[in-house]
Amino acid sequence: MAKKTLFIAGTDTNIGKTLVATGLIEVANQNGLRTGAIKPVAAGCEDRGLGMQNSDALQLQSVASYPLSYQQVNPVALTAAVAPHIAAEEEGKTLSASRLTGFCRGLTLLPIDHLFIEGAGGWRVPLNNRETLADVPKQLNSEVILVVGLRLGCINHALLTAQAIRDDGLRLAGWIGNTVDKDMPRFDENVDTLKRLIAKPCLGVVPRLADTSPKQVAPYVSLPT
């Protein structure tokens, strides 16, 4: 049974959740931990000859040490690269937090040490008219690692998301900055401000990397204690 579940949340879409998640999984692997990964719902999937698959989910599958089928890693694969509830509606599907939570719980029963759960979009991305993806880590009582996309405006986005995680009664285990804009004005000052105002540890700051493989990301991130 998984000893720890870590939900990888983001301040927005396309800010590096998968990059950070795979780096953290690599760190766990290097420390001898058995790792599993799941992206319970993914939009923007393509048929590569093996059914609908998502590039982020494939990266998670490739780095986790415990072998899982693609269906286990990404049980809900949606075609349109839009908000999951819109993509699901276009395909005549219904999303629910309880169903996604069930997929995750199934993996927690496996002989792994850390289960990494990657979200989709930001913290409050809708699943339906009543629920958001935040209901999944709430139902699992997961610890949360927040990925902050470092670009202009990130302080506001990070503080609002951190507050929402706390308001939902979950433990924010820490945050990791990922450099989205390498030319961001006052980069160091922004990072220092985040370190002061987010009352949880900074678990790393990832620069812009030419090689974004997990082994290259791993030196810049650390697991929460």
How far apart CA 124 and CA 63 sit, in angstroms, is 27
How would DSSP label each residue in 142-210?
Answer: -EEEEEEEESTTHHHHHHHHHHHHHHTT--EEEEEEEES-TT-TTHHHHHHHHHHHSSS-EEEEE---S
* Cβ-contact 151, 191 below 8 angstroms: no
Identify which of 112, 107, 41 has the alpha carbon closest to the alpha carbon of residue 78: 41
How far apart CA 132 and CA 123 sit, in angstroms, is 8
Residue 195 a catalytic site member: no
Annotated catalytic residue within 39, 138, 182, 195: 39
Strands (E), 22-180: 35-38, 41-42, 46-47, 52-53, 76-77, 114-118, 143-150, 172-179
Active centre residues (catalytic): 39
